Amino acid sequence: MLSIEDDGKTPRYIEVKTTTGSMDTPFYFSATEMRFSREHKEHYYLYRVYILKQSGQQADVTLLHGSLEGLSADPTCYQAKVEL
């Protein structure tokens, strides 16, 4: 998602990841999101929403700035094809 900083010119790229668990509950992001965050780290923000209540009207949020490379992340999926 693209937003603009208060100066009206500078981009702010926002990604939101939400879980009902605590801040340390694992969440998923794609390789594309990793690459984008790396390429735009000066303007990339992850809004980590957690402890989301069932009503959807209350949660905690932490704002992380920069590349997703700074997170403790493990690859969980591979893409493969059979070459004949």
Cα–Cα distance measured from residue 43 to residue 36, given in angstroms and rounded to the nearest whole number: 10
Which residues touch 79 (CB under 8 Å, ≥6 apart)? none
For the chain, domain boundaries? 2-70
Strands 60-65 and 2-4: unpaired
pLDDT tens-place values along the chain, 84 residues long: 569 999 999 999 999 999 999 999 999 999 999 999 999 999 999 999 999 998 878 999 999 999 999 999 988 888 889 998
Cα–Cα distance list, 35 to 12, 26, 28, 50, 52 (Å): 16, 19, 14, 24, 27
User: What pTM did the predictor assign?
Assistant: 0.83
Token pair, residue 33, equals: 């999101």
